[in-house]
Amino acid sequence: MAAVWLVLAGGMVHAQNASSPAGKPEPADAERMVWQRLRGTAIDLSVGADGVAFALDREGQVWLRRPGSNAGWSRLPGKFSRIDAAHEKLAWAVDANGALLRYSGTLWREITDTKALDVGTSPAGHAWAVLADGTLARFDARQDKFMAEAGAPLHLVRVDVDERGLPWVLGADGVPQRFDGRVWIKLPGVARDLSVGPDGTAYIVSAEHEPMRWVAAQSRWQKLFARADVVAAGAYGNPWIATPDGEIFAHQPDSKPGVRAQDNIPQVFTQVLSWRRVRGSGKQLAISPRGDVAALGENGEIWLWKGQDSWTRVSGKLAMLAIEPGGLLWGVDEDGRIVRQANAGWKEMPGRARLLAVGADGSAWIVGGDGRLARWQPAAGEWQALEGNPAKMLRLAVDPAGRPWVVRDNGTVAQYDGKQWADVPGIEATDLAIGPEGSVFAVAGALPWRYNRLNKRWEQLTGEVERLAVGPGGRPWAVTAKHDIYATAFFNEERATAMASVPAPVGGATATTGAVATIGAPPATSGAVAAARDPLGPADFRLVPAVAAQDIAIGNEGSVFIVVFDGTLARWSNTRNAFIAFPGQFTRIAVAPDGKPWGVTVRGEVYRHDGTNWRVIYNIVAQDIAIAANGAVMVAGTDETLYRYNADRAGFDRVLPAGDNVAAPTGSRIALDPRGRPWTVTKDYRLWRCDRTPCELQAIAARDIHIGPDGSVLVADTDRKLRRLNPATGQWDFVNVAADVVAVGPGGRPWIIDGKSQVWSSAFFRRDESNDLGVAGSSTSNTTTTTTPVFTFTVAMRFDAVTLPVGFDNNAVPPVVLAVGLTGQIGMIDASFQFWTYNTARGVLTADTKVPALPWTASGNNSVRALALAADGSYWISNKPQGQGASVGVWRLQGGRWVQVQGLADCASTPGCSTPAAFGLAPAPDGTLYATSEGGNLYRFDASLQRFVRVNIPPPNANPMADIAVGPNGHLWATTKAGTNPAYAVTYEFDGAAWVLRAAARSNELNACLSGFSNAAPCIAIGANGMVYQPWNSRLRRWNASAGQWDAVSNSPSMGSFAVGADGRPWVWDGATTLYKAR
């Protein structure tokens, strides 16, 4: 079919049919639509559920476009042949060699031992791939590999995944097929490309290059009047296409189109549920977040699943059952009495209940005898009633956030959002269950259903059931009307398999008797006096009285050290049942395998104890320290760089990247596994697992982390709850105790410090304490420093000259101007005002010949004042404000031409401004572009007004701002213009509330940048990792936030202009003829 493209105002394009192929009648409702032409070309397209688009250009390079009226494309790393995205932070791609890679929002990571032709992902991240042999495979996140899908069609070439996680495919013959959860269904037509959107809308491109949309109600494809090679379904079902020439068009790419009534998608199964009959019978089930399964027999007897079709009887009888994260049971008997499992049996709790449920966070809820909802308050030892209850509640469940969901007696479902109740329509339920990750299941009409949060609808699953319980990963167990038990996963067996490879604790063990306020001395005959019960729960912890601490550490042999609240050190004594003072004063500590402590002082100095005295480790400043079971020592520097201790030279070596395309691990908190491999917590509370390459981001936000000698990983999460990694499921199990700091000892038993600085122990470890007092008494070297640090810290940094290509003008005047974009793009302008970009993959500078000439008559005395790369990768420039005139100001490259941006001419309205003097530019991580005005005030670009508007933050100390920069935390940094008070330049950081002094020149230390009004040298620059640099006395220096000081950069070139890369490494133009970049 030929098509005529009509270009309308604003870049909109209307496709009209010119003719139809002979023998192919047009559908009566053939659809015409308005298309918007987008910049660039593409060989593949994908649009995520958040509206973020990914495109591969003709060279296979990756480009990203966020939705918005002024959206543009930003370059991402990588070069591929196929790509598909769930959202901005999750995408999959296949390269030219068939390698499969996953994008986490920062890095691409290859899935090893897999070659593919195509890959697709659902909005929730369920990935499927067509392997190199044309077979279909599904990604198993737990095993980190693709698993062959039995029964799938063969000889496939394309795959995409709908919002239910089910695949749609194209065979080599072009025939489209989809899987409905039970069988494969062939669809009409022959296609060359296929895409399914987050709302279930499906498209193909026919063999005749016609894009078509699937009309499920009529089981046919509807033509769209356009020509395409590639199609992608947008966030709301709106199509995107790439034409045979590679041009990109989209229908309403930045808005939600109207709903089409004919596109109601028939119900299909959410996922393939393979039910397996479990031996035994029951009337109710309960599953903990770690996978412990409990059942109530037909007569109320209590059973625990042991795996391999085996159950163990628990004493007592109940009418209702629930299970907390640690595996302890709750129940309600026939008389409504509430009980909770204790070490010696059952403990009766206050009150009476008709319904009972416990959430993945440990929250226990009941519907009391009076019909009111209430939550258990452990501290008060009572039930707290919830105001405003739904009437006549039939079923109760609790989500992972501790909020109740209910089923009323009429079958309607409602959820509590923390303030009010909201109905969840579309079902008449008889049962309700919620998984530890938040998946919501219900029973209606004797069928299981799952709630699809994305589309806000209930979706039917396979099976006939009466009651449900949901375990890790959203995998349910069920009880039928005949009381038969069925399961979709066997968590206990998975955990047992994983635990078989974990060493058992050495020595005997005795169980604790519950949380009490005082501690008796542990029996001297025990090998490791620890509560061996697994799972770990609140009853395993005992308060250590009369002490307040800020850090804690445990050695392999059981030595427990704390940093007391005043910074002093103490060591636990089993024989004295108390902490005994130990010389030293620290903020963070760790314990070596032989029980000797290491520490970090308040000034970042690192000390180790040699058994007699404290010994300082020179030339390192740290904020955290960790020691592995094998003796490896690692510290986190003040900039989150990691360093490993080198015993041969008694110093620390920087931890380098494992490969050319892999970033080195970083963090502000650090833990080491038994083999010395790091796990880290970055300053934004992200938890990274670095025992593999590259580091993997974990699905939990953490404040602290520690790893025991047996490999047990525990964290204190950002909600100040203790969590433990379940190696079988990959889930973080709730221990349900409050924790700010955690340390793990032998047998995986933790000690914690809570938000009140109280110390809690789950075990006491037997060890030889005979030399403790002697070691403490002989340690004469104190670690307290009251004067200057023991050394002056210098950042060791090597610089390499960058080879300049032919045509690059490196004359000293006008100077080279540098800038780094938010995505790491490096751009510069040479002395002839030619624009260049740095190709990181090839390590070369490439001329950007698409940039037109500067919008003013540029010269050595009228050159570029500042260069910035906006969030969409576009260029912004300014020239020096002095002299005034129509060409003076800030300009942006838009649509292939320079457009002047107004709003910064405020010298006349600024008190004390006699000569215009600013036009510094700085992009922020959120995409905002900031600028300093003629009067030295702060402005931001308003996209809706297309001009700069004043920011309501006054200049620091009423002095005009010259240069600005924005850190990844959103903090503004500014250097003021020298004046009369003070007479010299000052650098400040705005912490969100006030300007904080960071550097005050006493003479001409900042001259190299303040002369930037004519030579473009910035006064401050910040990398995407937060590293802040400044020129000082024509040399570079870096801000040390932990020590509150600036650290000199060794071997710094003489300063001209400079910029800081995304990895925190500076690029420096020496003001003469040479460009340098730091290694």
Task: Inform me whether the pLDDT recorded for 767 exceeds 80.
Answer: yes
Residue 240: the pLDDT is 96
Distant-in-sequence contacts of 201-204, Cβ < 8 A, 24+ apart: 201/233, 201/237, 201/263, 202/162, 202/168, 202/178, 202/233, 203/231, 203/232, 203/233, 203/239, 204/170, 204/176, 204/231
Give CA–CA dist 587/712, Å, rounded.
Answer: 24
Residue 9: the pLDDT is 38
- Rounded to an integer, the average pLDDT of 288-304 is 91
Residue 612: the pLDDT is 83
618: three-class secondary structure by DSSP: coil
Task: Inform me whether the pLDDT recorded for 656 exceeds 90.
Answer: no
From its phi and psi, is residue 309 left (phi > 0), alpha (psi between -120 and 50) or beta? left
Task: Inform me whether the pLDDT recorded for 260 exceeds 50.
Answer: no
Among the four given CATH numbers 1.10.8.60, 3.40.50.300, 2.120.10.30, 3.40.50.720, the one describing domain 546-778? 2.120.10.30
Report which residue type is found at 711. Answer: G
The encoded tokens of residue 1037 equal 């220096």
pTM: 0.37
Q: pLDDT tens digits for 365-407?
A: 999 988 999 999 887 788 988 888 888 899 999 998 889 999 9
CA-nearest of 793, 792, 707, 688 to 748 is 707
In this structure, which topology does domain 794-1078 adopt according to CATH?
Neuraminidase (2.120.10)
The encoded tokens of residue 564 equal 């007391």
Task: Inform me whether the pLDDT recorded for 154 exceeds 70.
Answer: yes
Contact 677, 690 (CB under 8 A): yes
Contact 141, 730 (CB under 8 A): yes
CA distances from 588 to 622, 669, 836 (A): 10, 10, 46
Residue 1075: the pLDDT is 87
Give CA–CA dist 773/454, Å, rounded.
Answer: 62
Task: Inform me whether the pLDDT recorded for 206 exceeds 70.
Answer: yes
Greater pLDDT, 149 or 107: 149
Contact 887, 857 (CB under 8 A): yes
Task: Inform me whether the pLDDT recorded for 178 exceeds 90.
Answer: yes
CA-nearest of 259, 84, 269, 103 to 160 is 84
Task: Inform me whether the pLDDT recorded for 1038 exceeds 60.
Answer: yes
Residue spans of alpha helices (H) in 447-543: 491-499
**Of the listed ranges 291-300, 816-825, 874-883, the one predicted with least confidence:** 874-883
The encoded tokens of residue 807 equal 């045509």
In this structure, which topology does domain 276-499 adopt according to CATH?
Neuraminidase (2.120.10)
Residue 264: the pLDDT is 35
Contact 365, 330 (CB under 8 A): no
Give CA–CA dist 223/919, Å, rounded.
Answer: 52
Task: Inform me whether the pLDDT recorded for 29 exceeds 70.
Answer: no
Q: Which of 287-296, 812-821, 963-972 has the highest mean predicted lDDT (pLDDT)? A: 287-296
Mean pLDDT of the chain: 82
CA triplet 602, 604, 605: central angle to 5 degrees?
105
Q: pLDDT tens digits for 476-535?
A: 999 998 899 998 888 755 444 333 332 222 222 222 222 222 222 232 322 333 333 356
Among the four given CATH numbers 3.20.20.150, 2.130.10.10, 1.10.510.10, 3.30.230.10, the one describing domain 39-257? 2.130.10.10
Residue 979: the pLDDT is 65
CA distances from 658 to 620, 662, 690 (A): 22, 6, 11
- CATH 2.120.10.30 residue spans of the chain: 276-499, 546-778, 794-1078
Question: What spatial distance separates the first Cα and last Cα of the chain, rounded to whole Å?
Answer: 56
* φ, ψ dihedrals at 539, nearest 5°: -70, -15
Beta-carbon contacts of 322 under 8 Å, excluding residues fewer than 6 positions away, are: 286, 329, 330, 331, 356, 357, 358, 364
**Of the listed ranges 66-70, 118-122, 591-595, the one predicted with least confidence:** 66-70
Residue 772: the pLDDT is 79
Residue 54: the pLDDT is 96
- Rounded to an integer, the average pLDDT of 74-101 is 92
Q: pLDDT tens digits for 606-640?
A: 999 988 888 899 888 899 999 999 999 999 998 89
- Rounded to an integer, the average pLDDT of 4-8 is 46
The percentage of the chain sitting over the pLDDT mark of 70, rounded to a whole number, equals 85
Q: How many helices (H) and strands (E) does the chain have?
A: 4, 98
Give CA–CA dist 821/838, Å, rounded.
Answer: 12
Give the start-end residues of each E strand in 276-344. Answer: 276-281, 284-287, 293-296, 301-305, 311-317, 320-323, 329-332, 337-342
- Provide the 8-state DSSP code for 17: E
The percentage of the chain sitting over the pLDDT mark of 90, rounded to a whole number, equals 37
